Amino acid sequence: MSLDFYLEYEDEISGERVEAFSANITHNLSRMADEAGIYYCLWRPEEVGIKKANELIEPLTVAVKMMKDNPERFEAFNAKNGWGLYEHFLPWIEDVIWACKKYPNALVRASR
């Protein structure tokens, strides 16, 4: 099981959603995300009113700093089976931040 995270635009002509960015990560990282304060931002953005990519930049940036400042705290949430590690999650979040900066007006969608 995994999280599929998307940034999308609505095509002005067809009205269909067009994917600008997508990223996939294991649900095994949900507890680590919760510890970093970003579970709802990434897994359930609609439940906290996040609609556009630019709304994610600040909370994700804060989380990355927190995670880098205290890696041991977050490594404690590494999945025992190896599917869901700090060392993979941190760059994944940084990729999402990059995409949010590149597509600030994109719509956010998460599929769980």
44-63: per-residue pLDDT in tens?
999 999 999 999 999 999 99
List of the chain residues with pLDDT < 70: none
Q: Which domain holds residue 49?
A: 2-111
| Cβ pair 8, 18 in contact under 8 A | yes
Q: Which residues pair with 109 in a beta bridge?
A: 6
- Do residues 86 and 75 lie in contact, with contact meaning Cβ atoms separated by under 8 Å? yes
Domains held by the chain: number:
1
Rounded to a whole number, what is the largest CA-CA distance in the chain? 49
Amino acid 31: pLDDT: 98
Measured CA to CA, the distance from residue 107 to residue 104 in angstroms comes to: 9
Residue type, 21: F
Please tell me the pTM assigned to this model. Answer: 0.95
H/E stretch holding 18 reads strand 17-26
